[in-house]
């Protein structure tokens, strides 16, 4: 797989028109896009369907969390559209219900471990048990994989450990918290460069603001690809 196929552009903008203009600007360059919660109330689902029809890969980042019956029916409804990836929270009962709802469809179920915007202090606030965030991420990922997830979402900081884990080593690992050279961190706390993430085993990189908030999304995207190819 070349670098182009490994970069997922997170369309975190405030309207579908803006998202469409970024997709158009990246036409022929990027082919994998993420639609998340920020666009869902503004026609994001319709945009995701439109992008699928146009032959693009779509990652629906809904981070679903609910009782099993609701998760199962939500996923059953979404997988008809053949989106490529869908996120659910990494709790094993949520993952199991999502996998049941997905049935024989091709959409991959990815489990969120710990958000890349969190650090240990945040986990304390959230009453998550003691331990390093890296260690807890691996445990959460392992449980999600054993519950049937096709892969996990994790920060660049946990990749090395995840790739050493018997249950996770062969699975899809999608990595947000990617910050190319010269980029600001924003609200992300567990970040890494695209090179570091790819070197340590990321299957895909999710990159949002460094591309979508750049003056020219294509120039920013190409600069990231150049940064990666120079490593
Ligand atoms: O702008 P930035 O590159 O930080 O965007 C990262 C994207 O990845 C956002 O859309 C965010 O919702 C998503 N994400 C994340 N951390 C996770 C899962 C998803 O940042 N653990």
Q: Nearest 5 degrees, angle CA 210-CA 181-CA 155?
A: 70
| Active-site entry in 63, 157, 171, 225 | 63
Q: Is 213 in the pocket of ligand 1 (CB under 6 A)?
A: no
Q: Is 209 in the pocket of ligand 1 (CB under 6 A)?
A: yes
Domain that holds residue 11: 3-229
Which pLDDT value is given to residue 172?
Answer: 98
pTM, full prediction: 0.96
Which atom of ligand 1 approaches the CA of 153 most closely?
Answer: 21
Q: Is 188 in the pocket of ligand 1 (CB under 6 A)?
A: yes
Q: Is 62 in the pocket of ligand 1 (CB under 6 A)?
A: no
| Torsion sign across C-alpha atoms 7, 11, 13, 16 | positive
Q: How far, in Å, from the CA of 117 to the mean position of ligand 1?
A: 8
Residue with CA nearest ligand 1 atom 2: 208
**Does the active-site annotation cover 63?**
yes
Chunked in runs of 10, what are the mean pLDDT values of the chain (231 residues)?
Answer: 89 98 97 97 97 97 98 95 97 98 97 96 96 97 98 97 97 96 90 94 97 97 88 65
Q: How far, in Å, from the CA of 208 to the mean position of ligand 1?
A: 7
CA 89, CA 109: separation in Å to the nearest integer? 10
Which pLDDT value is given to residue 126?
Answer: 95
Which atom of ligand 1 approaches the CA of 113 most closely?
Answer: 21
Which pLDDT value is given to residue 190?
Answer: 93
Q: Is 183 in the pocket of ligand 1 (CB under 6 A)?
A: no
Q: Is 133 in the pocket of ligand 1 (CB under 6 A)?
A: no
Which pLDDT value is given to residue 215?
Answer: 96
Interacting residues of 194 by C-beta distance below 8 A, sequence separation 6+: 7, 178, 180, 205, 207, 224, 227, 228
Which pLDDT value is given to residue 231?
Answer: 65
Which pLDDT value is given to residue 5?
Answer: 87
Which pLDDT value is given to residue 113?
Answer: 98
| In contact, 205 and 6? CB cutoff 8 Å | yes
* Total tally of structural domains belonging to the chain: 1
The 3-class SS string of 152-215 reads EECCHHHHHHHHHCCCCCCCEEEECCECCCCCCCCCCCCCECHHHHHHCCCCEEEECHHHHCCC
* CATH number of the structural domain spanning residue 12: 3.20.20.70
């Amino acid at each position: 797989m070349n670098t182009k196929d490994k970069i997922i552009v997170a369309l975190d903008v405030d309207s579908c028109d803006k998202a469409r203009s970024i997709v158009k600007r990246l036409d022929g360059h990027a082919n994998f896009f993420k639609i998340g919660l920020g666009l869902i109330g503004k026609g994001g689902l319709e945009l995701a369907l439109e992008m699928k029809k146009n032959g693009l890969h779509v990652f629906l980042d809904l981070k679903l969390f609910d009782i099993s019956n609701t998760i199962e029916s939500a996923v059953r409804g979404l997988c008809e559209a053949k989106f490529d990836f869908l996120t659910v929270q990494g709790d094993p009962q949520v993952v199991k219900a999502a996998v049941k709802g997905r049935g024989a469809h091709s959409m991959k179920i990815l489990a969120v471990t710990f958000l890349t915007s969190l650090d240990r202090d945040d986990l304390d606030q959230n009453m998550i048990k003691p331990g390093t965030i890296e260690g807890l991420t691996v445990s959460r990922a392992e449980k999600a994989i054993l519950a049937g997830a096709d892969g996990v979402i994790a920060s660049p900081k946990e990749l090395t450990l995840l790739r050493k884990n018997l249950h996770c080593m062969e699975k899809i690992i999608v990595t947000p918290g990617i910050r190319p050279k010269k980029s600001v961190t924003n609200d992300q706390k567990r970040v890494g460069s695209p090179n570091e993430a790819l070197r340590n085993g990321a299957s895909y990189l999710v990159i949002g603001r460094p591309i979508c908030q750049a003056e020219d999304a294509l120039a920013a995207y190409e600069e990231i690809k150049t940064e990666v190819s120079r490593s």
